[in-house]
Amino acid sequence: MTPETTTLRQLAQRVTRAVAVCRPAAADLRAAHDRLRQIAATLGYSAAVAVAPQAHPPLPPRSSAQVRAEMDALLASCPPLLALS
């Protein structure tokens, strides 16, 4: 085995470990990002609609009570936050 092969094998093992360690955090970050985009779309922010118009078509005019009800429903569907120790 050449020194280059040994180095590459060690690097591959380190990358594999790093991916395994970071994957859950990356998935959590992705879920949080998706949830924030849903909130933005529910509130009618144009940036959320512009990025994914098929997922978030423009909303008709709504009352504040309607927006609140939609937000309450969206937030009720969110998983609970983890308690930080």
The pLDDT tens digits for 32-83 are 888 888 888 888 776 655 666 666 666 678 889 998 998 899 888 887 765 4
Report pLDDT for 80.
72
This prediction has a pTM of 0.59
Cα distance between residue 48 and residue 38, in whole Å: 8
| Residues 25, 82: Cα–Cα separation, whole Å | 13
Question: What is residue 85's DSSP assignment?
Answer: -
Which residues neighbour 51 within 8 Å (Cβ) at sequence distance 6 or greater? 37
